[in-house]
Amino acid sequence: MSSQERILIIFIRLLQGNRLSKADLMAEFQKNGSTIQRDMAIIDELLHKINASLPASKFSPFRQIGELDRKKRGFYQLTAFKENSYMTDQELFMIFKVLFASRGFHENDLKTIYYKLFDNVENKHTMDKLLANERFYYEGVPESTIYPSLTLLLKAMLNQQKVEFSYTKNGETKIFTRVPLDIYFSDLYFFMVSAKHTAKDDTDFEALNKFRINNMKQIKILNEHQPVEYTNRFQGGILRNQTALPFFGDPITLIIDFYYEPAYVLDRFPHSVIKQVNKDGSLRIEIPANNGYGVKMWLLEQGAHVKVISPKYIQKYLIDNMKQTLSYYDITTTK
């Protein structure tokens, strides 16, 4: 093995985040300590040149490789580079937990993602023990992989091309032609979105603009471009802050009295504000929300913990819905 090959192998291992032992390198390459030190000096010089010439791009993983860390005698590591470029076991653990909780992937897709991420875990035995139960019992919502559909939709979205597909909802199947504006994930599902976040939503099957990707079949890209005006773009970040569930709607200021732990409101709607404490102990909370079905569904889930103050039509929706529910149990109200 040439000296260039040896130095390249050492450099690659350093970029992989490994801490290298001088003694181990001497034994592996059958070289004395001065040779290994010389190799490290060459790598050190190379690092200085690389750091001085790297482009200042926020998207580059090599914005700053840093210098060799020799704090522990006889060991070498690109400590700063590892800390900036590789996730810790704690970070990976949180990502695993979110992936399992999402249930948005088919079992085989989740397994592929899991093992790719797991390869970056340092303490594999401990991590596997911590995740074994959820990994074993994981059941994804999609009945098959959505990767091929995602690939087609992303291509069409980036090229602003129409797609044609069949879609089934409530036992009814129709053929749709839409321009994908975004891929949105919420509440178990990946959606293809074809309208802005304030569009009409789920009121008319033929006018749908949000489609669960696992229900989209026979997707094909049409050779038809349809540029989307900037003002009509879908803004998923705004939608996520305005609703508990993935339903579009017009912006509203929702005012409620809440009779339970306020974190259930404040965490769900990040721009909500407690305006006052009422005499009965409830909290008057103002929420920048939307008037879509997702907000209405969330309000119904709160039961006796919430009273809607305004808008009045949202209040009426809840009252009518509760009356209808009571009628299923042969309970009638006097008002």
CA 25 to CA 300: how far, in whole Å?
A: 65
Using omega within 30 degrees of 0 as the cis cutoff, is the peptide bond preceding 311 cis? yes
Whether residue 329 has pLDDT greater than 90: yes
Contact 197, 234 (CB under 8 A): yes
CA 65 to CA 44: how far, in whole Å?
A: 11
Give the dihedral sign, CA 179/183/186/190. positive
Which domains, from first to last, does the chain contain?
Answer: 3-85 (no CATH), 89-137 (no CATH), 147-231 (2.30.30), 236-328 (no CATH)
Instruction: Specify the pLDDT at position 200.
Output: 83
Predicted TM-score (pTM) of this structure:
0.83
Return all residues near 153 (Cβ < 8 A) that are at least 6 apart.
Answer: 163, 180, 183, 192, 213, 219
Q: Give 54's Cβ-side CA count (13 Å radius).
A: 16
In percent, the amount of the chain with pLDDT more than 70 equals: 96
Q: Mean pLDDT throughout 154-170? A: 94
Instruction: Specify the pLDDT at position 125.
Output: 96
Q: Mean pLDDT throughout 184-193? A: 96
CA 63 to CA 93: how far, in whole Å?
A: 26
Q: What are the structure tokens assigned to 209, written together?
A: 């603009």
